[in-house]
Structure formats: structure tokens, C-alpha cells
């Protein structure tokens, strides 16, 4: 009976897209494909791009939440969290030799629906403009585009 209950619980968690006791998302049950590195030295999240070939994860999105679907230049990103609260964006953080964060990436979620993508964490607009001049704002969300809970770089405010 325990095995049947456990199987039912795991099936329920899988259908809802939750990770089972993990701090990272269970991407095996995600409606999006698992992010795959297609260019190891490619551009990271929020960096300006014009083609998928430029980006570490092969995704140059002109409709990304960070750019709000505006402009002809996109940003490199990858799918994260599958609607959950955990993020795999931190896997791409850049740290100094002493462990101090140089660049941090956070998962932002669409206001509605399951969309989620990685964005650059910021403390000021100057942080953003150094990374990508098109991302002029340091915001914690853009209504009705995305929520982040922390400040991230965005072309819209």
C-alpha cells in the first residue's frame, strides 16, 4: 500500500511540474525542453544577440520577457523553473576567485502562464547598461509581462 501511495504522490508531483525534494526544478516533467549547452563560449542570459548560434544555450529570443517583444535585437536566455519557484539560472553565475559573485542570474516568470527565463540580477540601471545597453532598467517586474521578486535587467519598466 505504501508503494501505491508513494507512486500516486510522485505522479501528482510530476503532473504539477514540482521537483521532488530538490532545490532545482524537475525538468524531466517540463513542457519545455531541458536547456542544453550548444556553444560553451556563447553569450549568457540578457546579452544582446541576433541569432541562436551566438548563445550558450542556443536561444536568442526577440520575444523574451526582458525585452518585452520590442526591438530587432534579442537576448540570450534559457528556460528555467517550469513554473516552479526554483531556478537553474544560478548554474551560470560568474564568481571571482574568492567566491564573490561577479554576475548573478535569476529566474523570472511570466505574469500568466508557465513561461520562465533567466535574466541578469542587478542593483542599479548602470549594471544593466554595462551588460547590454538595450536593457536600460533594473526592475523587480514589469506588469503585465513578468515577475521576478528580485531586481533584474529589462528593456521595459
Residue ranges of the chain with per-residue pLDDT less than 50 = 1-28, 83-87
* Alpha-carbon dihedral 132, 149, 102, 138, rounded to 10 degrees: 30
Q: DSSP letter at 107?
A: E
**Residue 26 CB partners (closer than 8 Å, separation 6+):** 13, 14, 17, 18, 19, 20, 82
Q: Which domain holds residue 86?
A: 2-154
60 beta partners? 76
Across the chain, where does the E strand assignment appear?
Answer: 48-49, 60-61, 74-76, 94-95, 101-103, 105-110, 116-120, 137-142, 146-154
Give me the number of domains the chain comprises. Answer: 1
The confidence score (pLDDT) of residue 99 equals 83
Q: What is the predicted pLDDT for the residue at 15?
A: 34
pLDDT tens, position by position, 98-131: 988 889 999 888 888 778 899 999 999 999 999 9
Phi then psi for residue 113, to 5 deg, are 85, 180
Amino acid at each position: 500500500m505504501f508503494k501505491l501511495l508513494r507512486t500516486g504522490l510522485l505522479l501528482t508531483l510530476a503532473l504539477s511540474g514540482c521537483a521532488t525534494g530538490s532545490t532545482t526544478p524537475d525538468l524531466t516533467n517540463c513542457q519545455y525542453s531541458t536547456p542544453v549547452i550548444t556553444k560553451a563560449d556563447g553569450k549568457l542570459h540578457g546579452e544582446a544577440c541576433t541569432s541562436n548560434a551566438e548563445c550558450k544555450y542556443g536561444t536568442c529570443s526577440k520575444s523574451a520577457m526582458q525585452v518585452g517583444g520590442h526591438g530587432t535585437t534579442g537576448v540570450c536566455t534559457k528556460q528555467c523553473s517550469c513554473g516552479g519557484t526554483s531556478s537553474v539560472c544560478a548554474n551560470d553565475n560568474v564568481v571571482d576567485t574568492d567566491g564573490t559573485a561577479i554576475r548573478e542570474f535569476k529566474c523570472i516568470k511570466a505574469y500568466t502562464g508557465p513561461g520562465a527565463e533567466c535574466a541578469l540580477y542587478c542593483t542599479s540601471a548602470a549594471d544593466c547598461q554595462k551588460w547590454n545597453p538595450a536593457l536600460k532598467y533594473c526592475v523587480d517586474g514589469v506588469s503585465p509581462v513578468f515577475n521576478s521578486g528580485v531586481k533584474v535587467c529589462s528593456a521595459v519598466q
